[in-house]
Amino acid sequence: MAAMAAREIEKPFKALGLTSSEFDVLATLRRSGGPVTPTELYQSAMLSSGAMTARLDKLESRGLVQRSPSAEDRRSLRVSLTEQGLALIDRALVLHMANEAELLAPLSEDEQQQLAGLMKRWLLARE
């Protein structure tokens, strides 16, 4: 069931040439509203610094993010979306929301609320 759900959730990302992990990085940058450090990114994604560096390298080579020196600390970098990255994540978010609505369409509003409550309870028990 989890594999089937993951495939369905990832469809819009794949249509745009993104993996779910790349979507997560771009969406985190979009939500941040401005440049963030790689450390802030890997902590929010619960990844190792090496894994985040590899993702950023790939996204940067595709022109979706840029790394710039920090104005506050010359030893640090700031990561931000490029115009191309911003356009892509905005498109991906629209497709993602539409996909989620389609996936939940078989359930009534009450059933969707019940599912959300059950999932929240289950996730909280696992933290």
Domain ranges of the chain: 2-126
94-121 b/e with 16+ CB inside 10 Å = b?
A: eebeebeeeeeeeeeeeeeeeeeeeeee
- What architecture does CATH give domain 2-126? Orthogonal Bundle (1.10)
Q: 30 is written with which tokens?
A: 């979009």
DSSP code of residue 76: -
Distance CA 1, CA 118 (A): 16
Contact 76, 37 (CB under 8 A): yes
Span 15-34, pLDDT tens digits: 999 999 999 999 999 999 88
* HSE-CB for 90 with a 13 A CA cutoff: 8
Distances, alpha carbon 112 to alpha carbons 29, 64, 85, in Å: 28, 34, 32
Q: Which residue has the higher pLDDT, 87 or 1?
A: 87
pLDDT score at 109: 95
Task: Output the pLDDT for position 106.
Answer: 96
- Could you report the per-residue pLDDT of 35-83, keeping only the tens digit for each? 998 888 888 877 888 889 999 999 999 999 999 987 777 778 999 999 9
Global pTM reads 0.85
What integer pLDDT is reported at residue 33 of this predicted model?
86
